[in-house]
Amino acid sequence: MMNKWKELEIDNLPPDILTGGYEFAYDNSSESETNRRWLETKLSVGSMIERFCEGDIIYRYRKPEPKQPSHEEIMSKWWESGQSWKRVLKYSIEDMQSWYTLIGERSPVSAEWFTDLQSADIPPEA
């Protein structure tokens, strides 16, 4: 599920707007709200807010969804699982679904399981 877009309001900016990794879109047309055509902006946050304050452009923002790691990333990295770092022990395909088993674990997990985890080439405790 994608994160919802929120309209950018100058008096209600997110506290981490400069460092939060948000996606931004803008509309500078005079169309009604239902007919707006949102375009992705490549401006820096500072430039975007400056233009926003001029009042002729409407912006919206959202946090992007975490990117699912590639198969190569899953197989070549250590993954933080709970209180320890673990590595993938084996990989299998069943019914067109990829399954991974971590060292020390019995149950396999799908690729989606890795989305919100931290990864490293070498675990920090090594």
- The string of pLDDT tens digits covering residues 26-62 is 887 666 666 677 888 878 888 887 888 887 788 888 8
pLDDT score for 35: 65
Find the length of the chain. Answer: 126
Contact 24, 40 (CB under 8 A): yes
Are 91 and 116 part of one and the same domain?
yes
First to last CA, the chain: 36
Whole-prediction pTM? 0.54
Would you give the distance in Å from CA 57 to the centre of its chain? Answer: 25
Number of domains in the chain: 2
What is the domain extent for residue 20? 6-62
At a CB cut-off of 8 Å and minimum separation 6, what does 20 contact? Answer: 14, 63
Are 86 and 56 part of one and the same domain?
no
What is the band of 100 on the pLDDT scale with cuts at 50, 70, 90? very high
Q: What is the CA radius of gyration of the chain?
A: 21
Both tokens of 97, joined, read 């679904």
Are 45 and 82 part of one and the same domain?
no
Q: Does some domain include residue 95?
A: yes
At position 5, the amino acid (one-letter code) is W
